[in-house]
Structure 1
Amino acid sequence: MLIHIMTGGPVDKIPNLNNYKEGALWVGVDSGVNYLLKHQIVPTQAFGDFDSVTESQFNEIKNRLTHLSVFPSEKDETDTEIAINWSLKKNPSLIRVFGATGGRLDHFMGNIQLLLKGLEHGTRIEIHDNQNILYIVKEGSYTLSTHHSFPYVSFLPVSKSVKGITLTGFKFPLENRNIRWGDTLCISNELEMEKGTFSFHEGILMVVRSRDYHPS
């Protein structure tokens, strides 16, 4: 099962949903529900306090959705965390989160930390916007394929240190290097071949695939 979560972040950061519509169960969060409905996607489940939608928008949401969970604005979890917790219980193969970047930095940083829930559960959670795809992994060996839309690859430590990073098939290869918070050694690399590998033997690593911003 593939689950897509649309949160209520700035709409200018959301990628083209036509590239993501097929084969996914959609979950809406707060004003992200309204965004989905505008793009002819009716989410299977929705969560939120809905304090960021108008009364008419909320009435439409109530009329069109079968499963809607409304929470008070003052609570111990963000709406996005509630949606991720619900999604993880479905044991999906992958969760993609949209609308989670831009706007308030506290929400963005919180959304990044929510990726750890997937790591604990054994389910990858990815954050997608129109410039970036990011996710976190624990120690091991991984293969990356060339992604022409997102040519840059960066690696950042989530744990205090990440030990034994080795990169092969990259423009800037590495062998058995350690990085820690505050290091920028692994920022902005590129694959030189169709496939490359990265591995490390201790820590938690964030992988960011990105592209430059080109205003239209």
Structure 2
Amino acid sequence: MEINIVGGGPEELLPDLSEFRHDGNVWVGVDRGVFTLLSKGITPYMAFGDFDSVTATETKKIEKHVHVMKKFKPEKDETDMELAFNWALGEQPEKIRMFGATGGRLDHFFANVQLLLKPALNNIELNIEIIDKQNHILIKTPGSYEMKINQDRKYISFIPMSPFVKGLTLEGFKYPLKDCQIPWGSTLCISNELISDYGTFSFSEGILMVIRSQD
């Protein structure tokens, strides 16, 4: 099972959600993201939020079409996205994708990025991604990984999300690395590119954010 969570970020930053409509996928709406899903012909399995960003008319439409709604007061200890994310983790899916999690307020964006770290910090192996029209963000723990070239996301950046990422090796890239240590604050690994159909990256210690982007 894969869970797709759609938040209330700017709709113009969303990718084509139809690309992610596969059998067995579960859709979850967060606050205004619920109405966004309905407007695109996707009925979410669940809805989370205080729904302070939708009108009374939009709320009625949500209540009519979504059978499981988790309503919360605006004054709470977690964001609406975190509440949905925690539920998704409890379902133990193969993958979690987050849409509508970028753009708009920077505090919400950084909070959503930090959610990606939860499984890694708790030693849980799980594929989690933030995807928008221009970027694809994911977190990796130590290991070796293969990447396929994608001209729509040709720029690839590696950002340490722990004090150090050790043993970083990049093969098949325009700017290769061999057993390199990357500290917090380094921009060494920004805007790399694959030079063949496939490349690999590996590292031995730390937590690494991988961002595939287009201009």
What one-letter code is carried by the residue in structure 1 that aligns with 2:168? I
Q: Distance in 2 between matches of 1:64 and 1:204?
A: 40
Q: 1:17 maps to what in 2?
A: 17
Q: 1:175 maps to what in 2?
A: 178
- After TM superposition, the structure 1 stretch with the greater mean CA deviation from structure 2, 116-125 or 67-76, is 116-125
What one-letter code is carried by the residue in structure 2 that aligns with 1:186? C
What one-letter code is carried by the residue in structure 2 that aligns with 1:18? S
Q: 2:169 maps to what in 1?
A: 166
TM-score (norm 1): 0.96
**Structure 1 residue 132 and structure 2 residue 124: aligned?**
no
Q: Distance in 1 between matches of 2:148 and 2:91?
A: 28
- After TM superposition, the structure 1 stretch with the greater mean CA deviation from structure 2, 117-126 or 147-156, is 117-126
What one-letter code is carried by the residue in structure 1 that aligns with 2:150? H
Conserved 8 A contact 1:153-1:190: yes
TM-score (norm 2): 0.96
Q: Distance in 1 between matches of 2:43 and 2:18?
A: 14
Q: Distance in 1 between matches of 2:158 and 2:16?
A: 25
**Structure 1 residue 143 and structure 2 residue 146: aligned?**
yes
What one-letter code is carried by the residue in structure 2 that aligns with 1:167? L
Per-residue deviation at 1:118?
A: 3.1
**Structure 1 residue 58 and structure 2 residue 59: aligned?**
yes
1:73-152 equivalences under 5 Å are 73-119=74-120, 120=122, 121-152=124-155
What one-letter code is carried by the residue in structure 2 that aligns with 1:2? E
Conserved 8 A contact 1:118-1:124: no
Per the alignment, in what secondary structure is the counterpart of residue 104 of structure 2? coil
What is the aligned residue count? 212
Gaps of 5+ in 2: none
Q: Distance in 2 between matches of 1:60 and 1:136?
A: 36
Per-residue deviation at 1:148?
A: 2.2
Per the alignment, in what secondary structure is the counterpart of residue 159 of structure 1? coil
Identity fraction in percent:
52
Per the alignment, in what secondary structure is the counterpart of residue 22 of structure 1? coil
Q: Distance in 1 between matches of 2:107 and 2:146?
A: 32
What one-letter code is carried by the residue in structure 2 that aligns with 1:171? K
| Alignment root-mean-square deviation, CA | 0.9
The 4+ residue runs of structure 1 with deviation greater than 6 A are: none
